């Protein structure tokens, strides 16, 4: 699932499709295009899940002879799990692995190959598989950006019992996310998804928290809801309302608006060890580990 957007230069004109305009939803995100070169990465398949991908040289790199991850170190260190593809998040791992954090990148089948239910199931099974492989980890921290933040947020509602394991979740970093999918039904992004109202509600963490609230499995699990200053109005609205819903339901949640970044820079800047979000992530991980 890709985030609804119609890009344009910051401070300049941006276009929206007619359905977006008619529904009054301001998905438009202004940004400056940048050419980024992701680091080389490799992946291995996990049974009955999506793909888990790790940067070469990190603890989840592939042993090409055995087709298994080499991550011996992962059994005793904190694990950072990203629900974004390697093309959009593999570049950001260096500041984390340099501090001894194991990084796992979970991939999933995007539309039209994958339905919303399938995407959520793949990420859920992948997180469960990480816990099974490395049961002695010092905490799993999930991170997702945009549509990936939606998938990470859905892990708060997962039924881990049926998978035979409860992940050692210690934190979630939800960056510029989508938590209410009903507005997506009225955008051009729904063409490959074909989301119905039932699909949207079943897969909307915002709706679940409001209508059938789940209680925190671990009261110590910290949730950071993050949005960029120049994110679109709809991302701002959804981020703030999801944060408020979490607080009403007794989750340990905090809200951060990062200055002078848009929908893409808020993630891309994670390549910088001194970037405010990089520091927030590391501080949170090592407070909990």
| 231 is annotated as an active-site residue | yes
Q: What is the DSSP letter of 80?
A: E
Catalytic residue among 29, 146, 232, 239: 146
Nearest to 282 by CA among 157, 154, 141: 141
Q: Please answer whether residues 146 and 3 qualify as being in contact, where contact means their C-beta atoms are separated by less than 8 angstroms.
A: yes
Among left, alpha and beta (phi > 0; psi -120 to 50; other), residue 162 is alpha
What residues contact 44, with CB distance under 8 A and at least 6 apart? 51, 52, 62, 67, 68, 69
Catalytic residue among 121, 180, 231, 262: 231
Q: What is the DSSP letter of 8?
A: B
Catalytic residue among 141, 145, 150, 263: 263
The helix-helix angle for 116-133 and 147-154 (nearest 10°) equals 60
Q: What is the DSSP letter of 2?
A: P
Tokens of 201: 């509600």
The Cα 134–Cα 268 span in angstroms is 29
The Cα 137–Cα 145 span in angstroms is 24
SS3 261: coil
Q: Please answer whether residues 155 and 203 qualify as being in contact, where contact means their C-beta atoms are separated by less than 8 angstroms.
A: no
If one counts every other C-beta atom within 10 angstroms of the C-beta of residue 201, the result is 16
SS3 69: strand
Triad 41, 172, 267: Cα angle to 5°: 50
Q: Which residues are catalytic?
A: 146, 231, 263
């Amino acid at each position: 699932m890709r985030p609804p957007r119609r890009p344009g230069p910051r401070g300049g004109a941006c276009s929206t499709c007619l359905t977006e305009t008619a529904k009054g939803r301001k998905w438009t995100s202004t940004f400056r295009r940048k050419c980024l070169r992701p680091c080389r990465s490799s992946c291995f398949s996990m049974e009955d899940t999506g793909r888990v991908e790790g940067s070469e040289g990190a603890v989840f790199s592939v042993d090409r002879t055995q087709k298994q991850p080499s991550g011996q170190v992962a059994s005793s260190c904190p694990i950072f799990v990203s629900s974004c593809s390697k093309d959009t998040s593999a570049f950001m791992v260096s500041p984390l692995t340099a501090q001894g954090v194991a990084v796992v990148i979970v991939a999933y089948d995007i539309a039209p190959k994958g339905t919303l239910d399938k995407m959520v199931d793949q990420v859920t099974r992948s997180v469960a598989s990480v816990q099974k492989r490395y049961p002695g980890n010092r905490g799993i921290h999930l991170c997702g950006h945009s549509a990936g933040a939606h998938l990470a947020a859905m892990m708060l509602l997962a039924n881990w019992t049926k998978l035979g394991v409860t992940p050692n979740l210690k934190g979630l970093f939800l960056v510029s996310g989508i938590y209410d999918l009903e507005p997506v039904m009225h955008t051009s992004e729904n063409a490959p998804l074909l989301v119905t109202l039932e699909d949207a509600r079943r897969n909307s963490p915002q709706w679940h928290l409001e209508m059938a609230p789940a209680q925190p499995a671990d009261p110590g699990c910290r949730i950071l809801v993050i949005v960029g200053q120049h994110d679109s109005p709809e991302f701002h609205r959804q981020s703030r309302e999801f944060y408020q819903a979490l607080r009403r339901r007794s989750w340990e949640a905090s809200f951060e608006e990062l200055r002078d970044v848009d929908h893409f820079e808020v993630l891309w800047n994670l390549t910088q060890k001194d970037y405010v979000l990089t520091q927030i992530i590391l501080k949170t991980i090592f407070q909990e580990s």
